[in-house]
Chain A
């Protein structure tokens, strides 16, 4: 097997050599291999193998024509196939929105025709077919050289299987569409355009006289055929009269699923669904001219929706603004054609033609100021092209709403108020299926998609709502609010929603206000939303949805008690109403809040209870809602597991959260699952995996526009970097996350992110900076009363004191911390404090006290606090070490790692530190290596981590002492000693010196022995001074120090 680079080299030479005549090969190889005999041999072997006359791969496993055939059959009709015993398919020409277009041979009339198929999904609908037929009947009456002739229409049997295909035959025109030509042509001059436009006008005139309106005139429907005359002029044919299918290749077409007409050219009255006359075609003609002259459509926008709205609201810009050289007369013609009011346009195609040919005869009427279109009031029928095949479908049929649809709509609206968005979507989907064109249903559906971050879908639905009839002013405002919301124009959206509140009848007041609140919250105006909720509740104290919303907002803002009170009220209402889903939602919200501050056994039990409640209450009703709530709970569960050091369970749960989340396709739900997964990886110190998952989460978050997910991903990433002591990169990420959380008014996470930054500085021993940062956080957090920020900071301060070896300070802080955790009922954290406290006592030498308090703490631990149990067992063993009971300590270490089935490698860093420390005492090098290995690896990969240099340094020294290699031992202890002096950590300095002496004593270098003895003596003296006599005496009870000191005394 070669490396890719080497193989490329071999391939290059061999490919040429194989093709060369045998006689020339030698010389070529000699030249190209340039003395590399191995290369030459390899190439030779390949060349000779290549001479084989047959290699198995020469004969394909499948024949290529199968694929080609499949590809063409897939298109539908096959070349040579005869349809309805009359049309033989010659070739496939293209695909359109409604079906495909073929060239066919009419066997009975012996002529070539174009044959258009209509997709079964359209052909099945009798109403469509009927209408289609009528249109074609009309279109057939137009006989004009500039209009494409329509011949025949109907279902035709396909040869073999008798399947019917609905199709339409028409004149076959071989040429280019104007759309194609425009792409390669660039802007047209008046003179160039005139011959084309004249013929389009003639075609339109003929059609209009026959009573046929095109309705979808656009460049793709104008065919140009080169005439074989001297000037090679164009013959122009307008196609698809009255058919209004959309061409897929058209840039302005909608997504694949919903094919609209071509909003870029549609007249305003057509968009509004009013009756359409010849003027609509003239408007489209104006659009075509505009694009020919300027190279751009009269209205632009990011989406058909925007384009459509733009036309209704804004006047068109004069073509000369885009292209200064545009012929003035032509420009006036265009602008007149593009008048918003049909009556202000030309009266006929013929009139346009006259003006085109001889310049405007009459003065143009003064262009009125473009009246701001009050499209909200427009009675609308059209534009539902989206839902089917074009104009055919959007007759002036009024939408009739079935009673079921109205019932589902009502239930859907209720679900929205109760934040059960997925259930709402389910219900509204059902409503839409029953009444596809009910404006209210469509608007609500759009709102739901918007909430679920399915913006594309929201746009589609909204666009179809635009064309529907029966719009009340309030509905139009709602739609406007959604439209503005879609493009994140929050002020406009809010304004529309506010107008709507004033427009709706009394009975719908509270719902309308609720929608306003939804919008405020969505746009990040949480405070306003809360104010509105409170006002709403003043009028209707029992409003369940409002209480739920208020509860959530309060909780999020750190106002736990008020939040809980609101949730309880919501719960009460839901119970009265018998709304199980509402109850489940409250339970999930509460669980989220509780677990947010306590990850202990109680939290876990709560999650399990809620999980059960969710399953019981929802299984019968809405699977989507179930999944979304379930996913949220699983995320919480994963977080809790990871706090309990059940990392594998955490990972597995996070995975299923992701799956549950993606099954429900809730906006952001599965991303939160991914984030939980990332967190699991981070906490198990699987950093590359974590980064990969985080990248994925960020990618999805960006795509789903889930800001909170994005902020979370940045937070985790920064946290990860801070664990790796990459403070510069970490702070960049964490600051970004904090700013994003700030924008979301998510105070808890905002301050957590900043605390993580402070922790990074602290771990890097940049204490001043860490302290400054914490003071800032304290100051900024003060007005918000975030539940756990106080304890987070306290814990950080404690960690700092402990890291600096400030026993008194750290103990004092621990006492406060214990109190705070007990107060906020953060049980697991409180237990952790108790064990830490015992550890601190041990470090001060209060061994008996340490053991007693440890026993008390251990008695508190719940059955699922495995990580803490292990932690306690380690501290217990450490106490034994200092009591001089090394064998007992070793036995406890082994037992602990066995009981919790953790080898040193799987332990979290703090635990492997303790394990390493224990293993040093009274055991051989093998044991030391077994338990200290992870510390050593980390020490090597993170030389900047001071505390690892100390522990790693002296544990390695112990290892080499055990192996009787004093030189190596001294080398390592020197590192530990150096770091301790640098940190001015007297205790560590003394310990390292004692170990140093032990190593030196083993060697023969008397000078080194003296040096280390002096260091030990001096460190002891300084520590004594620092602690004071009394405390020092207590400290000196620690056998790990005093035992080694005695050793030093003995060898005097």
Chain B
């Protein structure tokens, strides 16, 4: 997933002036990367990347800089999830490399309120497993993406993907089981 077609996804969003919107979103994306990098260098958060802060910032910008409404909420979520996935993966990768380079202990991603933590290897493992899953079922992979990377509920996932809740539930249970096996292997 070195090149998730974020721009393509975003391009599809456009009502109105597509070009400027794309440019804008690209700019937001770059800005987020910059933020994340800064966070990682410890200028701000002492080596702790805070996903929620990042996400918040991402969406605030995406939303406030776009003058008009997103096509629908679902579309917004889908794009957001994809963007977050890419950003987090990029960072997990960078961290992984850094770790190998310096022999330091790997930093975990940790939200300040301690709600969760996830280390880069884990994220990369999930990401790669999802890529494999996508080969077999793109829909299942996307459901996991929306739920894991964007925190959507079953209902929201159904809305975002324009499929029934029942399908989301069924696909989720299978994908979850498969991921349990895949992640257990490592």
Give the residue name and chain of the A residue nearest to B133 (CB): A7
Complexed CA–CA distance, A8 and B171 (Å): 10
Q: Report if A61-B116 is in contact (Cβ < 8 Å); known contacts: A55-B179, A67-B59.
A: yes
CB distance from A11 to the nearest CB of B (A): 5
Is B135 touching A1 in the complex (CB atoms < 8 A)? yes
B4 within 8 A of A: no
Q: Report if A67-B137 is in contact (Cβ < 8 Å); known contacts: A15-B170, A57-B148, A256-B17.
A: no
Which A residues between 70 and 114 are near B, CB-CB below 8 angstroms? 70-71, 73-76, 95
Give the residue name and chain of the A residue nearest to B70 (CB): A71
Is A18 touching B88 in the complex (CB atoms < 8 A)? no
> Which one of B118, B136, B151 contacts A67 once the chains associate, using CB atoms below 8 Å?
B151
Is B63 touching A50 in the complex (CB atoms < 8 A)? no
Which of A67, A73, A256, A257 has most chain B Cβ within 10 Å?
Answer: A67
Residues of the B chain whose Cβ atoms lie less than 8 Å from the Cβ of A119: 67
> Which one of B60, B126, B147, B178 contacts A49 once the chains associate, using CB atoms below 8 Å?
B178
Q: Report if A1-B136 is in contact (Cβ < 8 Å); known contacts: A57-B176, A60-B150, A256-B67.
A: yes
Complexed CA–CA distance, A341 and B143 (Å): 61
B102 within 8 A of A: no
B164 within 8 A of A: no
> Which one of B60, B80, B150 contacts A73 once the chains associate, using CB atoms below 8 Å?
B60
> Which one of A2, A11, A16, A62 contacts B52 once the chains associate, using CB atoms below 8 Å?
A62
Is B177 touching A62 in the complex (CB atoms < 8 A)? no
> Which one of A16, A50, A256 contacts B177 once the chains associate, using CB atoms below 8 Å?
A50
Complexed CA–CA distance, A61 and B152 (Å): 10
A34 within 8 A of B: no
CB distance from A220 to the nearest CB of B (A): 16
Residues of the B chain whose Cβ atoms lie less than 8 Å from the Cβ of A2: 136
Q: Report if A75-B179 is in contact (Cβ < 8 Å); known contacts: A19-B173, A256-B17.
A: no
Q: Report if A18-B173 is in contact (Cβ < 8 Å); known contacts: A61-B151, A70-B59, A70-B63.
A: yes
Residues of the A chain whose Cβ atoms lie less than 8 Å from the Cβ of B62: 70, 74
Complexed CA–CA distance, A861 and B67 (Å): 61
Give the residue name and chain of the B residue nearest to A52 (CB): B180
> Which one of A11, A60, A255 contacts B17 once the chains associate, using CB atoms below 8 Å?
A255
A58 within 8 A of B: yes
Give the residue name and chain of the B residue nearest to A55 (CB): B180
B64 within 8 A of A: yes
Is B177 touching A14 in the complex (CB atoms < 8 A)? yes
CB distance from B127 to the nearest CB of A (A): 10
Residues of the A chain whose Cβ atoms lie less than 8 Å from the Cβ of B29: none
A35 within 8 A of B: no
Complexed CA–CA distance, A15 and B140 (Å): 12
Which B residues between 160 and 186 are near A, CB-CB below 8 angstroms? 170-171, 173-174, 176-181, 183-184
Which B residues between 43 and 77 are near A, CB-CB below 8 angstroms? 51-52, 55-56, 58-60, 62-64, 66-69, 73, 76-77
Which of B60, B140, B148 has most chain A Cβ within 10 Å?
Answer: B148
Which A residues between 31 and 55 are near B, CB-CB below 8 angstroms? 45-47, 49-50, 52, 55
Is A57 touching B151 in the complex (CB atoms < 8 A)? no
Is B152 touching A67 in the complex (CB atoms < 8 A)? yes
Q: Report if A74-B60 is in contact (Cβ < 8 Å); known contacts: A61-B151, A67-B55.
A: yes
A387 within 8 A of B: no
Is A46 touching B126 in the complex (CB atoms < 8 A)? no
Which B residues between 30 and 49 are near A, CB-CB below 8 angstroms? none
Residues of the B chain whose Cβ atoms lie less than 8 Å from the Cβ of A1: 132, 135-136
Is B59 touching A61 in the complex (CB atoms < 8 A)? no
> Which one of B15, B52, B170 contacts A66 once the chains associate, using CB atoms below 8 Å?
B52
Is B177 touching A61 in the complex (CB atoms < 8 A)? no
A324 within 8 A of B: no
Residues of the A chain whose Cβ atoms lie less than 8 Å from the Cβ of B108: none
CB distance from A459 to the nearest CB of B (A): 13
A64 within 8 A of B: yes
> Which one of B60, B115, B176 contacts A70 once the chains associate, using CB atoms below 8 Å?
B60
Complexed CA–CA distance, A70 and B135 (Å): 32
Is A58 touching B176 in the complex (CB atoms < 8 A)? yes
Interface readout for B98-115 with A: 1 if CB under 8 Å, 0 if not? 000000000001000001
CB distance from B65 to the nearest CB of A (A): 9
Q: Report if A66-B136 is in contact (Cβ < 8 Å); known contacts: A46-B178, A73-B63.
A: no
B6 within 8 A of A: no
A59 within 8 A of B: yes
Complexed CA–CA distance, A785 and B173 (Å): 73
Complexed CA–CA distance, A56 and B132 (Å): 17
Which of B15, B109, B126, B173 has most chain A Cβ within 10 Å?
Answer: B173
A69 within 8 A of B: yes
Complexed CA–CA distance, A69 and B52 (Å): 11
Which of A2, A56, A75, A255 has most chain B Cβ within 10 Å?
Answer: A56
Inter-chain residue pair count (beta carbon < 8 A): 148
CB distance from B134 to the nearest CB of A (A): 10
A63 within 8 A of B: yes
Is A67 touching B80 in the complex (CB atoms < 8 A)? yes
Interface readout for A684-724 with B: 1 if CB under 8 Å, 0 if not? 00000000000000000000000000000000000000000
A248 within 8 A of B: yes
Is A11 touching B174 in the complex (CB atoms < 8 A)? yes
Residues of the A chain whose Cβ atoms lie less than 8 Å from the Cβ of B76: 71
Residues of the B chain whose Cβ atoms lie less than 8 Å from the Cβ of A943: none
Complexed CA–CA distance, A74 and B66 (Å): 9
> Which one of B16, B59, B148, B176 contacts A74 once the chains associate, using CB atoms below 8 Å?
B59
Residues of the B chain whose Cβ atoms lie less than 8 Å from the Cβ of A256: 15-17, 67-68
A4 within 8 A of B: yes
Give the residue name and chain of the A residue nearest to B16 (CB): A256
Is A47 touching B177 in the complex (CB atoms < 8 A)? yes
Complexed CA–CA distance, A119 and B66 (Å): 12
Residues of the B chain whose Cβ atoms lie less than 8 Å from the Cβ of A11: 137, 140, 170-171, 174
Is A61 touching B17 in the complex (CB atoms < 8 A)? no
Is A71 touching B59 in the complex (CB atoms < 8 A)? yes
Complexed CA–CA distance, A76 and B63 (Å): 9
Residues of the B chain whose Cβ atoms lie less than 8 Å from the Cβ of A61: 51, 84, 88, 109, 116, 118, 123, 148-149, 151
B122 within 8 A of A: yes
Complexed CA–CA distance, A265 and B60 (Å): 37
Is A62 touching B150 in the complex (CB atoms < 8 A)? yes
Is A60 touching B174 in the complex (CB atoms < 8 A)? no
Is B151 touching A55 in the complex (CB atoms < 8 A)? no
Complexed CA–CA distance, A57 and B178 (Å): 11
Q: Report if A66-B176 is in contact (Cβ < 8 Å); known contacts: A61-B84, A95-B69, A248-B68.
A: no
Which of B77, B136, B140, B174 has most chain A Cβ within 10 Å?
Answer: B174
Complexed CA–CA distance, A59 and B149 (Å): 10
B153 within 8 A of A: yes
Interface readout for A4-36 with B: 1 if CB under 8 Å, 0 if not? 100110110011101100000000000000000
B128 within 8 A of A: no
Complexed CA–CA distance, A391 and B123 (Å): 54
Complexed CA–CA distance, A804 and B178 (Å): 65
Is A70 touching B56 in the complex (CB atoms < 8 A)? yes
Is B136 touching A50 in the complex (CB atoms < 8 A)? no
CB distance from B14 to the nearest CB of A (A): 9
Q: Can you identify 27 A-B contacts, CB atoms within 8 angstroms? A: A1-B132, A1-B136, A4-B135, A4-B136, A11-B137, A11-B140, A14-B173, A14-B174, A49-B181, A50-B177, A50-B180, A57-B144, A57-B147, A60-B149, A60-B152, A61-B109, A61-B123, A62-B150, A63-B115, A64-B152, A66-B59, A70-B58, A70-B62, A73-B59, A74-B63, A119-B67, A256-B15
Q: Which residues of A line the B interface, CB within 8 A?
A: 1-4, 7-8, 10-11, 14-16, 18-19, 45-47, 49-50, 52, 55-67, 69-71, 73-76, 95, 119, 248, 255-257
Interchain residue pairs A-B with the least CB separation, the first 3: A74-B63, A70-B59, A256-B16
Q: Which residues of B line the A interface, CB within 8 A?
A: 15-17, 51-52, 55-56, 58-60, 62-64, 66-69, 73, 76-77, 80, 84, 88, 109, 115-116, 118, 122-123, 126, 132, 135-137, 140, 144, 147-153, 156, 170-171, 173-174, 176-181, 183-184
**Known contacts A50-B177, A62-B151, then 6 further A-B pairs from the complex at CB < 8 Å, ordered by chain A residue:** A55-B176, A62-B52, A62-B55, A70-B59, A74-B64, A256-B15
